[in-house]
Structure 1
Amino acid sequence: MRHEAQQVKKERRNVREVELAARQTALPLKKYGVIYADPEWQFTPYDEDTGMDRAADNHYPTSDLLTLMRRDVGAIAAPDCVLFMWATVPMLVEAICVLDAWGFAWIDRDPTTGYLAPNKTRCRYVSHWAWLKQRIITGYWNRGKHEVLLIATRGKPVAPAMGDQLESWRDDFAVEAEAGEHSAKPDVFAEWIERQWPHTPKIELNRRGAAREGWDAWGNEAGEVAA
């Protein structure tokens, strides 16, 4: 009985994914129901004389927080959209600021308490994965070995089909995969997104090389659409 109920929900979910995809593709200016972003985080070491040898700036151009927040990603997001955004561990607070600026995690100040609090009525951070790397990198408070892929939504995009969620590593939101060139991410995440939203317009921000088949790509190293 439970299996049958899950199948009904899964079929209903798949129908809605197709309907949203058709609606988004038909918009006058193309909007995307899935945005997969890997911002070029700029991390300033405590000591620039000794800490810049392994900085990201040595491998590709980086941007400060204000530049990333001003990037108008919200303009290409469909009303019902899911955002997957990579963040390094030291930049987690900055990443939440970017989610808010892009329209995926509204943060308001409570007038009664004066504290900041998320407003989840229109958009919200929903979860994250962790990419457990095979090698240990540097760090000040610990020796980092993972990056996080934040998941946030606006509107009412379809969630992953029940039972098809990406398996975590040891049930702690981590996926173990080999590390490639500097900042390159494992294909397992994008491949899972493709399976869950096959019809939905998708774009990868800061893509390196040719776009994945069925995706658009943006970035100073993005190539043409793959054949």
Structure 2
Amino acid sequence: MKKYQLIYADPPWQYRDKAHAGKRGACYKYPVMSLDDIMVLPVGELAADDCLLAMWWVPPMPKEALAVVEAWGFQLKTMKGFTWHKLTKHGKSHFGMGHWTRANTEDCLFATKGKPKRVSASVRQFVEAQIREHSRKPDEVRDRLVELMGNVPRIELFARQQTGGWDVWGNEVESDIDMPKEADPA
């Protein structure tokens, strides 16, 4: 099995709050996975001895995100590797849903296996980009990860598109590796 020094993941989290009103919840947009189903994916087997995991997580579920990191065999470095400030198509700050405050940012944590090498110290945490389809992250983040880690073997899990230089796995792309596909909607 091919090993990767950079694993980029955006798991399809199954929220405790399904946002049934107006069918706004993630489960109405794409197939989601239970925490148990995410945790048992053999992501650790894809990791090289020295690997960075960059994983998007949802604010109401930090403990669950940490459980996934541990289950996949990584150690948390920061819950805020990247913070994406969402902009509308008109360049204004997005006014999203939220549990206590109106959400207009998302975070991507960094966790490691072994001692991956950072090749650039100039990569900034803050990303400001327009929102697109539900939960689709800015393409710029992939570029920043390559700048941070260099041209290393890399894969995007739960990918929505093919991206040059990246292997991909997900139910919306032709996958480069064999792994169980995302579960049916809950």
1:138 corresponds to: 97
Residue 216 of structure 1 pairs with residue 174 of structure 2? no
Look up the SS of the partner of 1:138 in the other structure: coil
Q: CA deviation at 1:49?
A: 5.3
Q: How does 1:1-227 map to 2 (within 5 A)?
A: 29-45=1-17, 50=21, 53-105=23-75, 124-126=76-78, 127-134=80-87, 135-162=94-121, 164-166=122-124, 168=125, 174-209=126-161, 211-223=162-174
Shift of 1:65: 0.7
Which segments of 5 or more consecutive residues in structure 2 lack a partner in the other structure? 88-93, 177-186
Q: Does the aligned pair in 1 maintain the 2:26–2:32 contact within 8 Å? A: yes
Question: What amino acid does structure 1 have at the position aligned with 2:167?
Answer: D
Q: What TM-score results when the alignment is normalised by the length of structure 2? A: 0.83
CA change 1:67–1:213 in 2 (3 A) is: same
1:85 positional shift: 0.1
Call closer, same or farther: CA 1:180–1:140 in 2, change over 3 Å: same
Aligned partners of 2:119 and 2:66: how far apart in 1? 22
Report the Cα offset of residue 198 of structure 1: 3.7
How many residue pairs match? The answer is: 169
State the one-letter code of the partner of 1:141.
Answer: W
Give the number of the structure whose alpha-carbon radius of gyration is greater. Answer: 1
Pick 1 or 2: higher relative contact order, CA cutoff 8 A, min separation 6: 2
**Structure 1 or 2: more helix by fraction:** 1
TM-score w.r.t. length of structure 1: 0.69
State the Cα RMSD in Å. 1.9
Name the CA distance, whole Å, in 2 between partners of 1:221 and 1:75.
Answer: 22
Report the CA distance between 1:222 and its aligned residue: 1.6
Residue in 2 that maps onto 1:21: none
Contact 1:89 1:146 in 2 (8 A): no
Offset of residue 142 of structure 1: 1.5
**CA contact 2:60–2:99 (8 Å) conserved in 1:** no
Q: Does the C-alpha gap of structure 1 residues 129 and 197 become closer, same or farther in structure 2, counting only changes over 3 Å? A: closer
Verify the 8 A CA contact 2:169 2:175 in the aligned structure 1.
Answer: no
